[in-house]
Amino acid sequence: MSIYWEEFYSTHAAPADFGDNKARMEEFTARHLAKMGKIALITSGGTTVPLEHNTVRFVDNFSAGTRGSASAEYFLQEDYAVIFLYRFKSLEPFVRHFMGQKFLDLLEITKNEGASSIQVKTNVTEEVLPILQQYQAVKKSQQLLCVGFTSLADYLWLLRAACELLTPFKTRALLYLAAAVSDFYIPSHQMPTHKMQSDSGPPTISLQLVPKMLKPLVSLWVPEAFVVSFKLETDETILISKARGALEKYNHKMVIANILQTRKQKVVVVTSNTVTELLLTPEEIQSDLEIEEKIVKFVTKSHAVFCSP
């Protein structure tokens, strides 16, 4: 039988920084394995699909990494060690709260005897302090490892390596696959080396299907882990049936189904025998509660039941 996902790895070289990132994940997992705690691999953000080997142009998707980066903070609060596999330049835990201009707007310059210093404005201290405290505690305890990817191939190489390192954690490993992974790509041997030239006329680009990595992930790479996948649709009428279909096909534990436009207020958690809607009330939205807090509570409770003897 041809193992179609192996074909992807044999025809797409590992990224240049793969060895370094694998070594960082090895060090992190070895340290946490000895502690006997739980560990989560969170994937976050979108993957790019390059159109040229020397990539000038690529196909991308909408994902900002909000789901993954917010969830990482809540898993850390639940005492999980977290490997955060994220798309470079998408949102990261903690810093996500102060992106762009907002960061500079938090600061003020004070002068004392001609010397300038910078401090956080008094009126935002209450907002910054708890996040800074959580960030520093996580840094001190070395509970979080962030590993970045850009392209689909980068992501798939890192995903497999991370899974293999999680195998010894057995049921204590949880996979939370929130990244928006491309379903279509141009195989390496069909890609031009150099930038496509417009004077050659409009290109005809033929995309092929990316192998669904959930299959080997669940059955071979981390067979004992608690695997949670996500299902994104834009048509509400097919959402639950697609989620059920994924569970039947891949035989993992849970699918978190969401609709593009409402994903920040509502998700549906589908298991082999339950369908549970999680949503934010208007009051909760008003008080800045994040749906990821509810999702992570639900998932970690289910994982605890799964782990209990």
Question: What letter represents residue 143's amino acid?
Answer: Q
Q: Closest approach of Cβ 179 to ligand PMT, in Å?
A: 6
**21 vs 63, which CB is nearer to ligand PMT?**
63
Which of helix, strand or coil describes residue 43? strand
**109 vs 209, which CB is nearer to ligand PMT?**
209
Cα 76 → chain centroid: 14
Q: What is the DSSP letter of 279?
A: E
Q: Closest approach of Cβ 113 to ligand PMT, in Å?
A: 47
Contact between 229 and ligand PMT per CB under 6 A: yes
**63 vs 150, which CB is nearer to ligand PMT?**
63
**39 vs 210, which CB is nearer to ligand PMT?**
210
Q: Closest approach of Cβ 73 to ligand PMT, in Å?
A: 13
Rg, Å, the chain Cα set = 21
Which one of 21, 29, 48, 66 is in contact with ligand PMT (CB under 6 A)? 66
Fill in the per-residue mask, 89 to 128: x = in contact with ligand PMT (CB under 6 A), - = not in contact. Answer: ----------------------------------------
Cα 80 → chain centroid: 15
Name the helix (H) or strand (E) containing 176: strand 173-177
**21 vs 229, which CB is nearer to ligand PMT?**
229
Identify the CA nearest to 135 among candidates 103, 101, 92.
Answer: 92
Contact between 285 and ligand PMT per CB under 6 A: no
**61 vs 132, which CB is nearer to ligand PMT?**
61
CA distance 68 to 73: 9
Which one of 41, 144, 153, 180 is in contact with ligand PMT (CB under 6 A)? 180
Q: Closest approach of Cβ 227 to ligand PMT, in Å?
A: 9
Contact between 213 and ligand PMT per CB under 6 A: yes
Q: What is the DSSP letter of 260?
A: G
Task: Show Cβ contacts of residue 281 under 8 Å, excluding neighbours closer than 6 positions.
Answer: none
Other beta carbons less than 10 A from residue 58's beta carbon = 16
Q: Closest approach of Cβ 217 to ligand PMT, in Å?
A: 7
Contact between 25 and ligand PMT per CB under 6 A: no
CA distance 80 to 72: 9
Residues in the chain: 309
State in Å, rounded, how far the first CA of the chain is from the last one: 37
Piece in contact with ligand PMT (CB under 6 A), picked from 22-30, 188-196, 224-232, 275-283: 224-232
Q: Closest approach of Cβ 3 to ligand PMT, in Å?
A: 15
Contact between 232 and ligand PMT per CB under 6 A: yes
Name the helix (H) or strand (E) containing 146: strand 144-149
DSSP per-residue codes, 85-116: EEETTS--TTGGGG-THHHHHTEEEEEETTEE
Which one of 12, 38, 49, 65 is in contact with ligand PMT (CB under 6 A)? 65
Task: Show Cβ contacts of residue 252 under 8 Å, excluding neighbours closer than 6 positions.
Answer: 214, 218, 227, 228, 229, 246
Contact between 21 and ligand PMT per CB under 6 A: no
Contact between 178 and ligand PMT per CB under 6 A: yes
Residues engaged in binding ligand PMT (CB under 6 A) = 63-67, 177-181, 183, 210, 212-214, 229-232, 258, 263
